[in-house]
C-alpha cells in the first residue's frame, strides 16, 4: 500500500510518500513560507535527486497542488496515476479526549479538529486547511487524521488531572493530553522488537529529546504518564519552551512586565527554554560549542536540561515500579552522546548504566547499555512519518476502505 503523509504547519507543508510494502520513501519534501506574501520555497527529494525552487503558494490548497504535481509529473514523478495512492495520513497535534486512535476523516472528525484548535491554534487549523485541500484535489483517496495525543489516552485520571476544581476540568477539558504520541509509540515497539520480548510485558521510559521534548512512562505498551501537558509547553526544558514552572511565577512576570495574554504566550513558547537561559541558541550544538569556550550560561542551560530529564526518569521509574529499558530518540536523543551520558550518569541504582564505548559517537539504532546493566539503554531513530502511515493503514482497513 502507498500512503501519503502530510504534516501541515501554519506556513509549511511537509510530505512523504511511503511504499508501506517495503518501507521505502518514494518521495519527500516540503513547501515553506505558504501565504507569507513573497515566493514560497519548494523542495522535493525522489529517485536519489533533489529539486529546490521558488514557487507561488498563497494557501495550503496551492501547496497541496504543488505536491500532487511533483508526485505525478516531471523528472521526479513517482506515480503515474494519483489513484495509486491508497490513503493520506494527516498529522494532527491535538485530538482532545475524543480520539484514542486515528480516525478516517468525515464531517464530525473535522468539526472536532476545529474545536480542539483552541488548544493548538498554530497546528490544528493549518492541518484542517491541508485536509480540506486534499479532499478537494484528491477526492477519491481516503484521508485519515493521526493524532499526537491518541497514544496518551490510556493515562488514568490520577495521571492526567490537574488539581483544579473538577467542574472546571469538565467544562473546559483542561487536563494533561501529552504530545509526540506517534514517536513514543514507534520507539516503544522498536525497543520491544530489539529485546525480542512482547511489548505487553515491558516497562519502558522513552525520551523524545528534540527541539520539543517529552518523556513517557510505558507499561505493557500503554502510556502511564507523560511530561507534556494540556499543551506541549509543560515538562522538560525545551529549545524555546519553558517547561515546568510555578503558575504563580507566570502571573508575577505578566504583572511586572505588563505583558498581555498573547505576549505571555509568545514569551513562554518562544523566548524561554535553552534559548532564554543561555541567551545564545535553542540548538544543543551551539550550546555545546559555547560550553567548550567556557560560556557559563550555556553550561547552565545544559545542566538544567539534563537535570529535568533525570527528574522525570526517576519519577517514572517509581511510577512503573521498575524499568526494562530507557530509549533516547529525536534530534538530541539520537545524536548527542554527551547529553545521553550526562542524563544516565548516577542512575546505576535504577539499573540504568551506559557504556561510553557504545555511546560515544553513536547516531544509529544501538543498545548503549553497559554489559550486565539491569535495564537496556537504546538509541532509536524515530520515524514519525512511518508511524503515521502505519496508523493510517490500520484506520482505512478497519473502515473497509482498502481498494
**Enzyme catalytic residues:** 148
Q: Does 332 bind ligand AMP (CB under 6 A)?
A: yes
Output the nine-digit C-alpha cell for 113.
Answer: 479538529
Say whether residue 284 binds ligand AMP (CB under 6 A).
yes
Q: Which of 239, 273, 276, 351 binds ligand AMP (CB under 6 A)?
A: 239
Which distant-in-sequence residues (6+ apart) come within 8 Å of 369 by Cβ? 352, 353, 354, 355, 358, 375, 376, 377
Nearer to ligand AMP among residue 265 and residue 283 (C-beta): 283
Part of the chain binding ligand AMP (CB under 6 A), chosen from 49-57, 135-143, 252-260, 283-291: 283-291
Rounded to whole angstroms, how far apart are CA atoms 103 and 396?
Answer: 8
Stretch that binds ligand AMP, among 72-80, 168-176, 242-250, 280-288 (CB under 6 A): 280-288
The reply to whether 331 sits near ligand AMP by the rule CB under 6 A is yes
330 is an interface residue for ligand AMP by CB under 6 A? yes
Q: Are 327 and 378 in contact (CB under 8 A)?
A: yes
Site size toward ligand AMP (CB under 6 A) is 13
Nearer to ligand AMP, 129 or 332 (CB): 332
CB of 26 to ligand AMP, least distance (A): 22
Nearer to ligand AMP, 210 or 229 (CB): 210
Examine residue 378 and tell whether it contacts ligand AMP (CB under 6 A). Answer: no
The single residue among 117, 178, 181, 210 that binds ligand AMP, judged by CB under 6 A, is: 210
For residue 342, the minimal CB distance to ligand AMP (Å) is 12
211 binds ligand AMP (CB under 6 A): yes
Out of 19, 32, 265, 283, point to the residue binding ligand AMP (CB under 6 A).
283
Q: Which stretch binds ligand AMP (CB under 6 A): 36-44, 100-108, 156-164, 279-287?
A: 279-287
CB 382 → ligand AMP: shortest distance, Å? 8
Amino acid at each position: 500500500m502507498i500512503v501519503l503523509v502530510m504534516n501541515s504547519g501554519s506556513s509549511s507543508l511537509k510530505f512523504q510518500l511511503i511504499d508501506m510494502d517495503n518501507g521505502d520513501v518514494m518521495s519527500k519534501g516540503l513547501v515553506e513560507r505558504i501565504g507569507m506574501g513573497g515566493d514560497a520555497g519548494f523542495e522535493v527529494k525522489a529517485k536519489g535527486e533533489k529539486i529546490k525552487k521558488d514557487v507561488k503558494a498563497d494557501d495550503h490548497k496551492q501547496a497541496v497542488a504543488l505536491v500532487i504535481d511533483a508526485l505525478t509529473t516531471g523528472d521526479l514523478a513517482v506515480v503515474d496515476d494519483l489513484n495509486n495512492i491508497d490513503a493520506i495520513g494527516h498529522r494532527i497535534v491535538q485530538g482532545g479526549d475524543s480520539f484514542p486512535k486515528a480516525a478516517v476523516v468525515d464531517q464530525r472528525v473535522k468539526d472536532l479538529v476545529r474545536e480542539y484548535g483552541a488548544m493548538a491554534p498554530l497546528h490544528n487549523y493549518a492541518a484542517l486547511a491541508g485536509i480540506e485541500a486534499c479532499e478537494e484535489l484528491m477526492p477519491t483517496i481516503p484521508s485519515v487524521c493521526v493524532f499526537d495525543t491518541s497514544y496518551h489516552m490510556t493515562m488514568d485520571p490520577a495521571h492526567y488531572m490537574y488539581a483544579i476544581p473538577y467542574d472546571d476540568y469538565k467544562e473546559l477539558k483542561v487536563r494533561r493530553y501529552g504530545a509526540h504520541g506517534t514517536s513514543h509509540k514507534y520507539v516503544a515497539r522498536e525497543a520491544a522488537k530489539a529485546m525480542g520480548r512482547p511489548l505487553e510485558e515491558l516497562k519502558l521510559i522513552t525520551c523524545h529529546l528534540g527541539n520539543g521534548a517529552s518523556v513517557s512512562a510505558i507499561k505493557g505498551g500503554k502510556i502511564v504518564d507523560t511530561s507534556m501537558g494540556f499543551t506541549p509547553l509543560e515538562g522538560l526544558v525545551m529549545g524555546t519552551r519553558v517547561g515546568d514552572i510555578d503558575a504563580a511565577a507566570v502571573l508575577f512576570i505578566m504583572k511586572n512586565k505588563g505583558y498581555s495574554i498573547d505576549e505571555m504566550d509568545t514569551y513562554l513558547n518562544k523566548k524561554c527554554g535553552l534559548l532564554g537561559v543561555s541567551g545564545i541558541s535553542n540548538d544543543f550544538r551551539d550550546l555545546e560549542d559555547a560550553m567548550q569556550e567556557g560560556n557559563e550560561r550555556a553550561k547552565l542551560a545544559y545542566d538544567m536540561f539534563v537535570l529535568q530529564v533525570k527528574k522525570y526518569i526517576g519519577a517514572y521509574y517509581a511510577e512503573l515500579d521498575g524499568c526494562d529499558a530507557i530509549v533516547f530518540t529525536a534530534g538530541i536523543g539520537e545524536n548527542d552522546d554527551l547529553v545521553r551520558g550526562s542524563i544516565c550518569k548516577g542512575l546505576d541504582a535504577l539499573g540504568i548504566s551506559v557504556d561510553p564505548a557504545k555511546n560515544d559517537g553513536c547516531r544509529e539504532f544501538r543498545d548503549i547499555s553497559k554489559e550486565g546493566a539491569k535495564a537496556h539503554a537504546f538509541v532509536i531513530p524515530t520515524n514519525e512519518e512511518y508511524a503515521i502511515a502505519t496508523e493510517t493503514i490500520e484506520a482505512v482497513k478497519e473502515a473497509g476502505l482498502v481498494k
